[in-house]
A and B are shown apart, each in its own frame.
Chain A
Amino acid sequence: MTTEKLIQVKDLQKHFKGGEIKALDGVTTDIHRGEVVVVIGPSGSGKSTFLRCLNLLELPTGGTITFEGTDITDPHCNINLHRQKMGMVFQHFNLFPHMTLLKNMTIAPVKLLKKSQADAEKKAMELLERVGLADRAGAYHSPLSGGQKQRLAIVRALCMEPDVMLFDEPTSALDPEMVGEVLDVMKQLARDGMTMVVVTHEMGFAREVGDRVLFMADGKLIEEGSPYKLFTNPQSPRLQDFLGKVL
């Protein structure tokens, strides 16, 4: 982890129905290069909205997000270019069912980074090798297990060689016995120094891999700090209550 601020979030707001519903209500935090930030909180706390605002899949209604020195909430900025540097992994994998797995991995590098098909495939095979799925490359994705699909979705995002990876509850749709294999891939990524923002209910993962944990409730950032500090000595009653329920 370095002190370089990769993403700066200032007073982030996401309101629906003209302010009646505040999904995000003034969140401010920095994400440093190489840092693993884990976002926890009860459902409806705004943690997924927060994550989806980071690459503008959800348009914030107020505040700013600065990514690598550029204010990406500025309407004149070309968000597509910045998204190429921000990989995202979804709860439901969202692999493209009409393409082979290899095409899933290579279409974005070929079309967007203008890589040759051969180069993109080489990179994809390298990454598939690392997650132990190289033998599946030619197949369409259906006969795969959820755990395999999610590992492939991670590889698809990595093929763009992003500077940060955003994980939106990556293990929530998995059968319990598949959770481990996906978390292992994420741990390996963290060890390799990838900057990661992870929304999850896996407290074990937060504790083991997280450099910093953010606790959110009601659209607000209630408490943040090292996993050790948050899990052993929670300050706010909301966090104490939450940890009492999930641990």
Chain B
Amino acid sequence: MSDWFAKLQQDFVLNFVSDNRWKYLTSGLANTLKITFFAVLIGIALGVVIAIVRSTWDKNKETMRPGLGKVLLGVGNALCQIYLTVIRGTPVLVQLMIIYYIIFASSNNGVLIATLAFGINSGAYVAEIIRGGIMSTDNGQFEAGRSLGFNYVQTMWYIVIPQALKSVLPALANEFIVLLKETSVAGYVAIRDLTKGGDIIRGVTYSPFLPLIAVALIYLVMVMFFTWLVGRLERRLRSSDH
């Protein structure tokens, strides 16, 4: 037992303390958090816009008066459909490599590129989640907003979207947990995220156990913290009505 413990201590020093190797983990963690945070923002922004376009089209295509508005909305809807089909139909790693090696071949700002790639990827899933929320919000809420004199966008913004977001909060939280962990493939295109940091240590020390377990634990703690945070938010929102 004491042998095993002494070995572990030795391993710990080798993997994290010598040459300040722990810095691979902290700088990697910083990149992972940066990528995830800004990708979430991009994902929500894209998702809300696409969800509004798609649900507006689905609800109104039969009753809309013919004209420029209907044509524009139809085109917008078609573009959204293509985006959703392509993004959800291809692996995120392939998308990341295409963006890194083809679209932004001349740039070497890996973190920024990864943020864009994961944001665009996440937007597709967020869009469908929010669209579900919009479609399931009682149409009476929409009509009440319109009857007061709010235009379509105002009604969506003040009345429908807040209720839709609230009802899909658990699904959204799940999407963000998936996104946080999905960023671990960023190392594939030489971006030094948390996973890559652990892997670099492993490559230097030839001792895989501690670096990889440490990486796993850090992800786990982050997800647990995030889950707790969302749980609190949900309880707060629930207490504010029903």
Neighbour of B140 across the interface among A59, A92, A107, A140, CB < 8 A: A92
Instruction: Choose, from B72-80, B156-164, B215-223, the stretch at the interface.
Output: B156-164
B162 near A112 with CB under 8 A, answer: no
Question: B147 at interface (Cβ–Cβ under 8 A)?
Answer: yes
Report yes or no: A160 in contact with B144, Cβ–Cβ below 8 A: no
Say yes or no: A140 contacts B241, CB within 8 Å.
Answer: yes
B154 touches A83 (CB 8 A): no
B143-A83 in contact (CB<8A): no
Residues of chain B within 8 A (CB-CB) of A108 are 148-150
* Cα of A117 to Cα of B232 in the assembled complex, Å: 30
A-B pairs with beta carbons under 8 A, tally:
70
User: In B47-63, which residues have CB < 8 Å from any A CB?
Assistant: 63
For B66, give the chain A residue with the smallest CB separation: A75
Instruction: Determine the chain A residues whose CB is within 8 A of the CB of B154 once the complex forms.
Output: 111
In the assembled complex, the CB of A128 is this many whole angstroms from the nearest CB of chain B, namely 17
> How far is A87 from B162 in the complex, measured between Cα atoms in Å?
23
**Does A140 lie within 8 Å of B240, measured CB to CB?**
yes
Chain B residue nearest to A166 in the complex (CB): B147
Give min CB distance, B143 to chain A, whole Å: 6
Among A55, A80, A141, A153, the residue within 8 A (CB) of B150 is: A80
A95 to B163, CA, bound (A): 12
A side interface size, CB within 8 A: 30
Q: How far is the CB of B137 from chain A (nearest CB, A)?
A: 10
Expressed in whole angstroms, the Cα–Cα distance for A80 and B162 within the complex equals 21
Bitwise interface map of A from 20 to 36 toward B, beta carbon under 8 Å scored 1, else 0: 00000000000000000
Q: Smallest distance from the beta carbon of A131 to chain B beta carbons, Å? A: 18
The reply to whether B149 and A80 form a contact with Cβ atoms under 8 Å apart is yes
B163: A residues at CB distance < 8 A? 96-98
- Return chain B residues, CB-CB under 8 Å to A153: 144
A96 contacts B144, CB within 8 Å? Answer: yes
Question: Which residue of B has the minimal Cβ distance to A92?
Answer: B140
The answer to whether A142 has its CB under 8 Å from any CB of chain B is: yes
**Max chain B Cβ within 10 angstroms of own Cβ: one of A95, A98, A108, A156:** A98
- Beyond A94-B138, A98-B163, whether A57 also contacts B242 by CB under 8 A is no
CB-contacts of B145-198 with A (<8 A): 145-151, 154, 158-159, 162-163, 166
Assess whether B241 is in contact with A98, with CB atoms less than 8 Å apart.
yes
CB of A98 within 8 A of CB of B149, answer: no
- Residues on A with C-beta less than 8 A from B236 are none
The interface residues of chain A lying within 8 Å CB-to-CB of B63 are 59
Residues of B within 8 A of A157 (CB): 147-148
A242 within 8 A of B: no
The residue of chain A having its C-beta at the shortest distance from the C-beta of B143 within the complex is: A57
Give a binary string over A91-129; 1 marks a CB under 8 Å from any B CB, 0 the rest: 010111110000000011001100000000000000000
Taking a contact as CB atoms under 8 Å apart, the answer to whether A90 and B143 are in contact is: yes
B235 at interface by CB-CB < 8 Å: no
Q: Which residue of A lies closest to B152 (CB)?
A: A80
Q: A57-B143, A96-B141, A98-B166 are in contact. Are A160 and B241 (CB under 8 A)?
A: no
Can you name the residue of chain A whose Cβ is closest to the Cβ of B141?
Answer: A94
Whether the pair B147, A83 counts as a contact (CB closer than 8 A) is: yes
Q: A166 vs B242: C-alpha distance in the bound complex, in angstroms?
A: 27
Beyond A98-B162, A166-B147, 10 additional pairs, beta carbon < 8 A: A57-B143, A59-B63, A59-B65, A75-B65, A75-B67, A80-B149, A81-B149, A96-B144, A98-B240, A160-B149
A-B contact pairs, 9 of them (CB 8 A): A75-B65, A90-B143, A96-B144, A96-B145, A96-B163, A112-B148, A112-B150, A141-B241, A142-B242
Chain B residues in contact with chain A, CB under 8 A? Answer: 63, 65, 67, 138, 140-141, 143-151, 154, 158-159, 162-163, 166, 240-242
A residues near B (Cβ < 8 Å) are 55, 57, 59, 75, 80-81, 83-84, 86-88, 90, 92, 94-98, 107-108, 111-112, 140-142, 153, 156-157, 160, 166
